[in-house]
Structure 1
Amino acid sequence: MTTTQARELPRWRTDDLYAGLDDPRLTADLATLREEVAALEATFDEVGVRKGGSPATTEALDRVLGGLNSVLARLTPLRGFVSAFVTTDSRDALAQQRMGELTTLTLPLGPLRSRLTAWLGEQDVEALLGQSDVARDHEHLIRRSVEYARHQMTPEEEDLAARLRPSGAGGWAKLHGNYSSQLTGEYRGQRMPVTALRALATDPDEGVRRDAFDAELKVWQDAEVVLAAALNGVKGEEGTLAARRGFPDAVAPSLLTHGIDRETLTAMQGAVERSLPDFRRYFAAKARALGKDRMDWWDLFAPLGRSETEWTYEAGTRFVEEQFRGYSDRLGDFAARAFRESWIDAGPRAGKRGGAFCMGWQQGESRILMNHDPSLDSVSTLAHELGHGYHNLLKASRTPLRRETPMTLAETASIFCETIIQNAALTRATGEERLYVLETQLLGHAQVVVDIHSRFLFERAVFEKRAERDLTPQELNDLMTWAQRQTYGDALNTTHPYMWAVKPHYYSLAFYNYPYTFGLLFGLGLYAQYGQAQAQGQEADFQARYDDLLASTGLADARTLAARFGIDLRAPEFWEGSLDVIRAQIRAYEAVVG
């Protein structure tokens, strides 16, 4: 996509918060936030919020949680506003300065959360819940704090770890984001951003895809020393802290963070591994359609079929709103508002982060970043991110602490909305368009099941090796290739050894991968129940219960919320049922391809 085309796509609105990064009101609000953080520190000291501190009275709990909620409520729009500039132009010096200022003034919040966890972890939880309305409102937070407290270091060590994170793992993650967003490569005599090179993976011409792939690998190879240092820095810190906190392995802390237990992860991943031969049938069928014995990595995103629909951004927004409204007026109205009020920064451009995300803004509003290209896949991405925004809207009446949602559940609404769009496209498709839609569905599912599992295997192996020493770029490449071979099997001639450099997920939360698989399969399971409710004329009841689930993702764990729909997350049968939906799509795909 040319720069001119990118400029024609909508950009998100920011002036509803501040006129710009140099707005005096922004400066004043940052100063107010600094004062509120300092006041919160004073409250924690006065109340005795620390390990071995004073007992939690009703009044003390009200002051502490009320103060923290107030600070977090002020922080959300400030962080969103500054992020809106940092993520769309990494070269914006003032934006980087403001983000640095915000990071520094919120630095005490990490140690304060550690102190709160230690304090709550020592309380008589049942007595506290019986005495305090505030405690009952925050019961999930309190019970999770008890679990976290079992794995805390000494107060001094926790304080130091929290204060060092922005300049440690956080700094390495920032380096990866800023550095990788500015990388360019040489393609057929033209200098292109690496994100544009990766976008050529969807070109119908294999020669274009192959040359772009080769050019992309050269970019990552030239950047490998910097990015390997960043990954070693992030994983070294996380692994050291996990061991110091007494976790049995690097996966264990992620289970707490993502809100599931090991039995659930084992059941889900067992089902995933049993599905890999089915996905390899999909890859084999796609290879046949491309006229090849086996695919290469640059063929994974190759288009198949033909869409009679021109998936411009405008056409995509109309389709999304129409299909959302077919599910419910509330969801349709939400999408219409997001488009009308310019919540979305749609087009790719130099200095802008790749991929897509949704972030909170103010009072139930969100802002969505994406890099649109004219495809159903991009429209599905739009629906996916709007699902996150809808989730934010439903949680808006909760306090910030009661909105905190693990990533496993954070993907529920996004996958559900994506499924609405893809199923609608498939229902109306025939002939070549049917192949196009099935390919879009299965390409996405393969990424979230097959590729995500390779990322999990890679990350687990990196943690194990990194405990011994820094890993060289070649060792990271070798581990990445091994992990891809474990999941893709012999379906591919070539692999992508530098995916560890491509994906920002490795540089943020540990195991920022399997929650996507959870979200897909949990979302498909819920959507299947919606189909049953619709057939029985009970869709309104389902919609009410589903919205209540989304509004409650900060109030209970995944297993408890799933039980409301009769789902046992530890049962392999549930995960197999969701994967059976995908298996049916693979059979349909094979029938079309022949």
Structure 2
Amino acid sequence: MEKMVYQKVWNLDKIFLGGSNSVQFLDYVKRLESLIYDFERCDKSFNDPVKTNEVTNLVKLVEFIGEIRVNLSQANSFITCLLAQNTKDQDAATLRGKVAQLESHFEKELSKVKIGLANIKQDIWESLVETKELEDYRFILNEWRENTDKHLSDEEQNLISDLKADGYHAWGHFYNALISNINVNVQVDGEEKNLSVGQAINLRAHPNEVVRKESHNALESIWEEKEELFAKILNHIAGFRLQVHKKSGVKSVLEIPLKENRMKEETMNAMWSVISKYKKPFSDYLNRKAEIMGDSSMKAYNFWAPFTNSNQKIQYDEAAELITEHFSQFGTELESFVKQAFHEAWIEAEDRANKSAVPFCAGFPLTGESRVFMTFGGTFLNVLTLVHELGHAFHNYAMKSVNGVNKRYPMSIAETASTFSEMIVFDAAMKKAKSKEDKLIILDEKLKRSVMNFMNIHSRFLFEQRFYEERKEGIVSSDRLTQLMGDAIHEAYDGSLEQPSTYSWVWTPHYYITQSPFYNFPYTFGYLFALGIYAKAKEKGKEFEKDYLNLLRDSGSTTAEDLVMKHLGEDITLEEFWEKGMEICVKDSEEFLKLTSSDDIE
């Protein structure tokens, strides 16, 4: 049988011919601009409905919004791909600026629509949204109305919008610029190298412990030197956010992120409660891995160390065949989808210069396709990265038939399909593993993900929660921020991490994202949520694929609680649901401990 050869460079010309100099794309942007100005005129002609028979106008307006969102998504995805495949593409950067201006104009007009909807009298509103014509849009319309700030006048809304653009978001941009311009000197394999922060952080996975430790210490010195500046940035971001909350009547800093993630506080608390109960299996894993490395406890700079120094390489074509085979065991649609992705060159995997370092999946809703970006270096971790991004692409595939306004799902659901796909491959790889060493490599990768979600992300959540409480009373000093971070890490890791970076409040970019606070718990939610779904899939076998697709399809038009109740019949405000996903992770730890019970690792 002839061996398949798969293209490592993606096909973007099928989307828009000609790359960053595409005449076709420029024509598309012009049509998009006209579409947005047509929307502005449509918005101005839209009168507040006073009768239910005016529902037709509202339907047209909502469908117009959906159409523009889909078109913007198509444009943004194309530009993101251009900039990723060549970070020096100045023409693509120019295109990004043009589309960003159009998007900003559209969002301002959309805000006006939402304010108009929020001001409709309650009895008229109820009669409108209950009509059959608005059935598909009922959830999103109620969400817009509920989440639109009624405490602020139009003048105050505009002022806050301007302040965000000129001041608040500028602090976030300043942080990114500052981090990007910091260089770190580290000895790597006998040679002193001047590295970016990202490059230095990546050395935590270097096979040589001396390099890992030196990189860790060099970064800590940099953070100590610049802590006062970063503390000012963080305090200004939090201070502005708290002032807006006070003016808007927001009582808890968690109120907005919970709304954005469409989940109840009871759900989040149930999840954290289960995680807090099951710290020991992951502490045991960390202690055992440290013991294997010759230490009494896990040092922070050794956490990402490779379990073995195996140099076994996986060819890209082999990875493609492996992933297709494993996905076929789950269901026919997933198998068909992944074959299309590989055969039609949806994946950019070539290892070459001037590519972005960040893997991603970009959806193209107008053409019903996705593009996956990564650099494939032949490792098992590369295979997992590819699987993860293909999971995101399958989520896009599931949403193909969904209307434009219901395509956006919250961050808490965003990692579901990607983590689910990883679990398919992890399980299949474990079944095929021939040696104890192969099994341990797989288990180590799985357990690293559990530790990151159950311990690292938990520490971020605890830190941010406590920081905001103290920030209400005034500026929080850099020393106090470091102390809060240290306490949060100790609690979240159950004391099982030695020499942690208590300056992680400086170098963790999520704290400085001005679009949303608490950019942490949704990661853990998505991870454990996907594992809960995977546990269900193992019970039902291949027939589960239909339920899974329906769940993904509805992910943009309902709450997390209603989504799971509808498709799985489970109540995620109860700890029992989260226990099912946790059980999988606990078994991983038990298996790791069993396989490493002696020094005889094959």
Contact 1:549–1:561 (CA under 8 A) maintained in structure 2: yes
CA-to-partner distance for each residue in 1:90-114, whole Å, 9 max, x for gaps? Answer: 5544433332222222213333333
What SS class does the counterpart of residue 107 from structure 1 fall into?
Answer: helix
- Match status 1:431 vs 2:436: yes
Please give the alpha-carbon distance, in whole angstroms, between the structure 1 residues aligned to 2:202 and 2:394. Answer: 28
Shift of 1:130: 3.8
1:422 alignment partner, one of 390, 415, 426: 426
The equivalent residue for 1:131 is 131
AA matched with 2:147: Y
Correspondence 1:71-90 to 2 at 5 A = 71-87=68-84
Cα distance change, pair 393–180 in 1 and its aligned pair in 2 (3 A): farther
What are the residue-to-residue correspondences of 1:160-309 with 2, within 5 Å? 160-162=159-161, 164-177=163-176, 180=179, 183-188=182-187, 189-218=192-221, 231-305=234-308
Distance 1:333 1:224 in 2: 51
**Where do residues 543-558 of structure 1 align in structure 2 (5 Å cutoff)?**
543-558=545-560
Offset of residue 347 of structure 1: 6.3
CA–CA distance in 2 between the matches of 1:284 and 1:380?
A: 25
Q: Residues 549, 92 of structure 1: CA spacing in aligned structure 2 closer, same or farther, 3 A cutoff?
A: same
- On the 8 A contact 2:81/2:362 being kept in 1, the answer is no
Q: Deviations over 1:22-61 (max 9, x none)?
A: 4344333333323322221222221136xxx766721221
Matched, 1:481 2:480: no
Aligned positions, number: 578
Unaligned runs of 5+ in 2: 1-5, 598-602
Kindly provide the amino acid, as one letter, of the partner of residue 38 in structure 1.
Y
Say if 1:217 and 1:84 are closer, same or farther in 2 by CA, change over 3 A. farther
Alignment deviations for residues 166-209 of structure 1 (CA, whole Å, 9 cap, x no partner): 44444444455565456543222123343333332223321122
Residues 324-382 of structure 1 deviation map (CA, whole Å, 9 limit, x = unaligned): 12212321232232233333344677775544332222422223333555433332222
Whether the 8 Å contact between 1:305 and 1:433 is mirrored in structure 2 is no
How far is the alpha carbon of 1:118 from its aligned partner?
Answer: 3.1
Correspondence 1:64 to 2:61: yes
The aligned counterpart of 1:517 is 524
- Give the conservation status (yes or no) of the 8 Å contact 2:207–2:309: no
Change in 2 beyond 3 A, CA 1:241/1:336: farther
| Displacement after TM superposition at 1:217 (Å) | 3.7
Matches of 1:170 and 1:311, distance apart in 2: 43
Q: Alpha-carbon deviation of 1:321?
A: 2.1
Note if 1:409 corresponds to 2:413.
yes
35-44 or 231-240, which moves further after superposition? 231-240
- CA separation of 1:209/1:530 partners in 2, compared to 1, >3 Å: closer, same or farther? same
Q: How much has 1:552 moved relative to structure 2?
A: 0.9
Once superposed, what is the RMSD of the aligned Cα atoms? 2.9
Deviations 1:546-579 (A, max 9, x none): 1111111112211111112121101112112221
Alpha-carbon spacing, 1:240–1:25, altered in 2? closer, same or farther (3 Å): farther
- Structure 1 residues 194 and 89, CA gap change in structure 2 (3 angstroms): farther
Is the 2:140–2:405 contact (alpha carbons within 8 Å) kept by the matching residues of 1?
Answer: yes
Residue 39 of structure 2 corresponds to 40
Relative to 1, partners in 2 of residues 1:171 and 1:314: Cα closer, same or farther, differing over 3 Å?
Answer: farther
Cα gap change, 1:360 to 1:36, in 2 (>3 Å): same
Letter matched to residue 63 of structure 1: K
Say if 1:307 and 1:436, in contact at 8 Å, map to a contact too: no
Deviation, structure 1 residue 590: 1.0
TM-aligned CA distance change 1:333 to 1:459, over 3 Å: same
1:371-397, Cα deviation, whole Å (9 max, x unpaired): 555433332222122111100111111
Using a 3 Å threshold, how does the CA distance of structure 1 residues 225 and 60 change in structure 2: closer, same or farther?
farther
Counterpart contact for 2:63–2:405, Cα < 8 Å: no
* Counterpart residue type for residue 103 of structure 1: A
TM-aligned CA distance change 1:237 to 1:195, over 3 Å: same
Query: In 2 relative to 1, CA 86–395 (structure 1 residues): closer, same or farther, beyond 3 Å?
Result: same
Distance 1:509 1:235 in 2: 11
Paired residues for 1:306-455 under 5 Å: 310-346=313-349, 353-362=356-365, 363-429=367-433, 430-455=435-460
Deviation larger for 281-290 or 236-245: 236-245
Query: What residue number does 2:3 align with?
Result: none
* Percentage of pairs with the same residue: 26
In structure 2, give the amino acid aligned to 1:384.
H
**Equivalent-residue separation in structure 1 for 2:91 and 2:170 (angstroms):** 18
Amino acid at match of 1:316: A
Partner-residue secondary structure (3-state), 1:366:
strand
- Post-superposition offset of 1:444: 0.9
Classify the secondary structure of the residue corresponding to 1:367.
strand
TM-score of the superposition, structure 2-length normalised?
0.87
1:14 aligned partner, one-letter code: L
Distance (whole Å) between structure 1 residues aligned to residue 341 and residue 521 of structure 2: 29
Would the aligned equivalents of 1:407 and 1:515 in 2 still touch at CA under 8 Å? Answer: yes
CA–CA distance in structure 1, aligned partners of residues 310 and 501 of structure 2: 29
Q: Which residue of 2 aligns with 1:114?
A: 111
Change in 2 beyond 3 A, CA 1:347/1:221: farther
- State the shift of 1:307 in Å: 5.9
Aligned-partner Cα distance in 2 for 1:87–1:33: 23
Q: Is the 1:58–1:132 Cα contact (8 Å) retained in structure 2?
A: no
User: Could you say which residue in structure 1 is the equivalent of 2:461?
Assistant: 456
The CA distance in 1 between the partners of 2:353 and 2:235, in whole Å, is 28
2:30 equivalent to 1:23: no
Q: C-alpha displacement at 1:494, in angstroms?
A: 0.8
CA gap 1:312/1:233 in 2 versus in 1, 3 angstroms: farther
Change in CA separation of 1:85 and 1:283 when aligned onto 2, cut-off 3 Å: same
Give me the whole-angstrom Cα distance separating, in 2, the residues matched to 1:219 and 1:320: 41
Match for residue 105 of structure 1 among 87, 102, 105: 102
Q: Amino acid of the residue matched to residue 59 of structure 1?
A: T
Counterpart Cα distance in 1 of 2:33 and 2:233: 30
Q: Is the 8 A contact 1:140 1:555 kept in 2?
A: yes
| Contact 1:306/1:433, CA 8 A, preserved across alignment | no
Say if 1:66 and 1:205 are closer, same or farther in 2 by CA, change over 3 A: same
Q: Does the 8 Å contact 1:182/1:350 carry over to 2? A: no
Q: Secondary structure at the match of 1:136?
A: helix
Q: Is the 8 A contact 1:325 1:332 kept in 2?
A: yes
Quote the offset at 1:273 in angstroms: 1.2
Q: Give the residue type in structure 1 aligned to 2:550.
A: D
CA gap of 1:248–1:69, structure 2 versus 1, over 3 A, is same
CA gap of 1:221–1:30, structure 2 versus 1, over 3 A, is: farther
Q: CA 1:358 to 1:291, structure 2 compared with 1: closer, same or farther past 3 Å?
A: same
Q: TM-score, normalization: structure 1?
A: 0.88
1:489 aligned counterpart, secondary structure: coil
SS at match of 1:368: strand
- Indicate the SS of the match to 2:502: coil
Which stretch of the first structure deviates more once superposed, 287-296 or 63-72? 63-72
SS at match of 1:190: strand
Q: 1:381 to 1:201 in 2, by over 3 A?
A: same
* Counterpart position of 1:14: 12
Distance 1:361 1:81 in 2: 8
